[in-house]
Amino acid sequence: MLVSASEGPLASAAPDSGPAVVRSARTPMARSDRTASRTDARLTPSMSASCRSPGRRSPRWRLPCRISASMWSMTSWWARALLPRFALGSGSGTSCVATRRNIRYVTNVDGLTIRLMMTPTSTSWGQTRQDSSKMGSLEGVRVLDLSRILAGPYLTMLLGDLGADVIKLERPEGDDTRSWGPPFVNGEATYFWSANRNKRSVVLDLRDDSDLAAALELAATADVVVENFRPGVAERLGLGYSQVQRHNPGVVYCSISAFGDEPQASDLAGYDLLVQAVGGLMSITGTEESGPAKVGVALVDVLAALHGAVGVLAALRHREATGQGQRVDVTMLQSLLASMVNQSSAYLGTGVSPGRIGNRHPSIAPYQTLRSKDGSIALACGNDKQFRSLARSLQLSTLADDLRFHTNADRVAHCDELIEILESRCATIPKTDLLALLRDAGVPAGPVNSIGDAFEMAEQLGLDPTRMLSVGDRSIPQVTNPIRLSVTPVRYRLPPPVLPARGPARD
């Protein structure tokens, strides 16, 4: 097992350390506490148990005790092998998750729910808890990233941004996107940069028995496993959900596929372009003259990643409350159908498939691009008040009283006539002056920017759109995460990892 040299050894990913868990709000532990618990021979675990019977408030008690570091290292075996043999383990609906940081045991005995958690803490009473602003929301969560290309890697990058420890497993030749270019900068593909920060890289050849065994051990130590193998491949390798869950019952296992894992989908390839095509997005993108057009970025991959991330976070919250892991399945096709929102809803309501209308909107007018004297702008009038303001600002006040344009439905029905009038006026006004007129009138409008212009605009608005992540003499520019958290902000810890050199597997 080879680890990216730029990110250091994978010491914290040792297989015998047990899977990470999401910390309960009732038993938080800072990173410094966890480090101390591995080195201090005298630990003070606190055992918290609660019993609850339906309709009855139950007592809660805490039992302090001391165990040695060597005893604590046996907690995974102790909880899974010994706890179920005590009186607590005779009921139905029992779950037990033992990890390097705590033991969570939940059982149900004759309608009585018993929850047990044991957490090691430092013996230093004077030690202060780490400032939460320096910790991520997912501090202590370990993610094994078995995915490649974009949807899975983007999902795990989001988890890494929120503080999770992400271990990216790569083939000896590396992730496909390491070779997707141009552009390349200093020999590295910028495509790979876009979805792989805040990760450490491990090279394993899953065709090799010893490397496959190492991957299985990493899966046994993970809170979250993310994969996007073709249907059936993970199971054939022994890395499927049921196989991982057998050794790691609390695991949250996320599978991303193009079309699902039913037999009829098994031979369908899952690239973004194909899903845009078969999912209907290309049928509503472009104009009748241009024919079907794809969106200018792998949008469906990103949508699947976002839906998958929500599913993973929901599953982690459920596990925090119950100790129970689960599988999260996301398909690119379903993510696209859900994300086409009003267009999908229009089809379901009418039975008529929407068509291509270019930059226009099927239900709002004027809501499209318009040509000015020296360039294009985007105009978005979402209600009658904004349309009246538009007419006044362009000195076309009679438009607001024209029965063809009186309401939004009227304007949609007579859109061609409306746009002809607006463009004939806008074509006489320079773009900068036109935008100033519309802005002063409170009409939503903006320039059609290049990507470079968009970054510059975000900078001017104080959005801080970029970060430079550096290790040694290697610096990688990154787009900032759009999520802003007031207490546990996004952290930018590691640049996208370099691929370790090929060599013999090692622990």
Residue pLDDT, tens place only, 444-483: 999 999 999 999 999 999 999 999 999 999 999 999 999 9
Q: Across all residues in the chain, what is the average pLDDT?
A: 81
110 annotated active-site: no
Instruction: Give the DSSP H/E element, type plus range, for residue 160.
Output: helix 151-161
Could you tell me the two tokens for 2?
């080879």
Q: Say if CB 377 and CB 427 are below 8 A apart.
A: no
**Burial (CB count <10 Å: 0-12, 13-18, 19+), residue 106:** buried
Mean pLDDT to the nearest integer, 122-138: 58
270, 158: one domain: yes
Beta bridge partners of 502: none
With b for 16 or more beta-carbon neighbours within 10 A and e for fewer, the 59-82 pattern comes to: eeeeeeeebeeeebbebbebbbee
Last residue of a domain, one of 125, 153, 168: 125
Classify residue 171: in a domain, yes or no: yes
If one compares 10 and 404, the residue with the highest pLDDT of the two is: 404
* 401-405-407 Cα angle (round to 5): 95
Classify residue 396: in a domain, yes or no: no
Which phi and psi (to 5°) does residue 165 adopt? -90, 105
C-alpha closest to that of 19 among 179, 248, 237:
248
Could you tell me the two tokens for 95?
């779950």
Q: How confident is the model at residue 36 (pLDDT cuts 50, 70, 90)?
A: very low
C-alpha closest to that of 429 among 456, 395, 406:
395
At how many degrees (to 10) do helices 341-350 and 332-339 cross? Answer: 80
Name the active-site residue from 301, 329, 402, 464: 301
Mean pLDDT to the nearest integer, 377-386: 96
Q: Residues near 445 by Cβ (< 8 Å), separated by ≥ 6?
A: 377, 378, 379, 380, 434, 435, 438, 439
| pLDDT value for 150 | 98
C-alpha closest to that of 490 among 28, 137, 20:
137
Whether 305 shows a pLDDT value over 50: the answer reads yes
Last residue of a domain, one of 66, 96, 125: 125
Last residue of a domain, one of 287, 322, 339: 339
- Mean pLDDT lowest among 90-94, 95-99, 140-144, 287-291: 90-94
203, 334: one domain: yes
| pLDDT value for 350 | 97
Q: How confident is the model at residue 427 (pLDDT cuts 50, 70, 90)?
A: very high
Mean pLDDT to the nearest integer, 288-302: 96
Q: How confident is the model at residue 249 (pLDDT cuts 50, 70, 90)?
A: very high
Classify residue 477: in a domain, yes or no: no
56, 173: one domain: no
| pLDDT value for 345 | 97
* Domain count within the chain: 2
Residue-range definition of the domain harbouring residue 242: 136-339
Distance CA 165, CA 154 (A): 14
- Mean pLDDT lowest among 49-53, 108-112, 164-168: 49-53
| pLDDT value for 186 | 95
